[in-house]
Amino acid sequence: MNIQISKMTLDDFYQIKDVLISDFDDFWNVNTLEQELTNENSNYLVAKIENQIVGFAGIKSVLDEADIMNIVTKKDKRNLGIGSALLEKLLNVAKEKEIKKITLEVNESNISAIHLYKNFGFKEISIRENYYNKTDNALIMQLSLI
Ligand SMILES: CC(C)(COP(=O)(O)OP(=O)(O)OC[C@H]1O[C@@H](n2cnc3c(N)ncnc32)[C@H](O)[C@@H]1OP(=O)(O)O)[C@@H](O)C(=O)NCCC(=O)NCCS
């Protein structure tokens, strides 16, 4: 399986806009994502297989720190290495931008995402109680790139 990773464009976004919630995940604020793609502090990547979009991921940077804003694989393409391919390239983009620290928050019940982040060396640095829907805790994870 040949996963192609490239910079995500607005054209890519328009291709998946109508299926973001059904085919990728149900938490999207579509307008926020569109704004992210035109924000000069954001860097988004898209994963394609045979020219079909199967995932995307993005960071937002401030000076030498960045947050992972999104990483998602199309529902019917999970566990095929697409999330790992996206994260690997995203970390390369961060290094090119001389980012020193990369942080993210993840629902503590999101086992597959936590597994993915730990594979790349992210460590849990804190927990935000009842952060999601006032019930689920958020883990804050961080990776030092220096
Ligand atoms: C998190 C997500 C992006 C991972 O994408 P993916 O394309 O499935 O990732 P990969 O195929 O590279 O697999 C990632 C790792 O998770 C592991 N994994 C998947 N499901 C798992 C589970 N239920 N329990 C433990 N590990 C699991 C895989 O085995 C793999 O680990 P390995 O490489 O050591 O075998 C995907 O599940 C997703 O889109 N989730 C919904 C959006 C989301 O929650 N994003 C994160 C927000 S913080």
Q: Which atom of ligand 1 is nearest to the CA of 104?
A: 48
Per-residue buried b or exposed e for 51-90, using 16+ beta carbons within 10 Å of the residue's own CB: eebbbbbbbbbeeebbbbbbbbbbeebeebebbebbbebb
pLDDT-derived band at 4, boundaries 50, 70, 90:
very high
115 lines ligand 1 (CB under 6 A): yes
88 lines ligand 1 (CB under 6 A): no
pTM: 0.95
25 lines ligand 1 (CB under 6 A): yes
> Alpha carbon of 6 to those of 55, 92, 141: distances in Å?
11, 12, 25
Q: Whose Cα sits closest to atom 23 in ligand 1? A: 112
Q: For the residues 35-64, what does the mean pLDDT come to?
A: 96
116 lines ligand 1 (CB under 6 A): yes
Give the residue numbers marked as catalytic.
Answer: 105, 117
Residue 4, strand partner residues: 48
Using the mean position of ligand 1's atoms as its centre, give its distance from the Cα of residue 146 in Å. Answer: 25
- Work out the angle at residue 23's Cα, subtended by the Cα atoms of residues 89 and 115, and round it to the nearest 5 degrees: 45
Q: Whose Cα sits closest to atom 32 in ligand 1? A: 116
Q: What is the pLDDT of residue 6?
A: 98
Domains of the chain, start order: 4-144 (3.40.630.30)
Q: What is the DSSP string of 85-111?
A: HHHHHHHHHHHHTT--EEEEEEETT-H
What tens digit of pLDDT does each residue of 64-121 get? 999 999 999 999 999 999 999 999 999 999 999 999 999 999 999 999 999 999 999 9
Cα–Cα dist 97/107, whole Å: 27
